[in-house]
Structure 1
Amino acid sequence: MSKQLRRKLRANPTMAERVFWRAIYALRTNGWHFRKQVEIGPYFVDFACLHAGLVVEIDGETHGQPVVQLNDATRDQYLADRGFQVLRFSNNDVLTNREGVYDAIVAVLERRTGNHRASPPPQPSPQGGGC
């Protein structure tokens, strides 16, 4: 995928992708860095939290077709072989069951707490004063 196409995909997300991005806001602001349209090897994934090794795909209706399912399985295996866990949700899941999608992602991230990027809040100096 070209850089221009990746930019276009980021700039023009589907409704389900926009809803998903808003749904994970609390995760993104709490140290789980998610990125959109990430290149991993020969593939581009919808969303990735690289430090947690999590890929999230938001699938449209075409992903129900046998050929597309086979391609998805090949892609998922490639990502799994490189240490990524892939979660797939349909557009309908994201649009009608946002809380369930969020809970599924949280469940995966909780098992990967060692990869959480948030740092503890700064503590005051024992001597007082600044820096």
Structure 2
Amino acid sequence: MMKAITRQRQLRQAMPEAEHLLWRFLRNRNLCGVKFRRQHPIGCYIVDFACIERLLIVELDGGQHNEDEAKIYDQRRTDYLQRGGWRVIRFWNHQVFEEFDAVMEEIYRQLLLPGPSP
């Protein structure tokens, strides 16, 4: 547990600029009044942003995620998260800078989809 907390702190301190930008708009219930957590642990993974009440994960990927090995890892990770009931949406870092409104619209759209049953 302590190892995961340490890793979360490291990831928060080393957030890429795209994550910093998106976090400014997701934090403090700014979008649809829902709470997002950043660098949130789920099982053995730490996700970029998670909205627990809507079971939505937002992942931002840099160029390293375009390599074959990373694609396999990301798919395995996404499969695991989806088996746990999470919806996972991914954006490339450059989309946050170049298509910010479209990124926010997609996150908003996902938040409006029916959520999990209580």
Q: Normalised by the shorter chain, which TM-score bucket? A: 0.7 to 0.9
Tell me the equivalent position of 2:10.
Answer: 8
1:1-131 alignment, distance < 5 Å = 2-25=4-27, 27-28=29-30, 30-112=32-114
Secondary structure at the aligned position of 1:2 is classed as helix
What is the CA-CA distance between 1:28 and the residue it aligns to? 3.2
The answer to whether the 8 Å contact 1:57/1:89 transfers is: yes
Unpaired runs of 5+ residues, structure 1, are 116-131
Give TM-score scaled by structure 1 length: 0.79
Q: Paired residues, what number?
A: 115
The answer to whether the 8 Å contact 2:31/2:108 transfers is: no
Percent identity over paired residues: 33
Compare the two structures and name the one with the higher helix fraction.
2
- Bigger Rg, structure 1 or 2: 1
Give TM-score scaled by structure 2 length: 0.87
CA RMSD of aligned residues (A): 2.0
What is the CA-CA distance between 1:29 and the residue it aligns to? 6.0
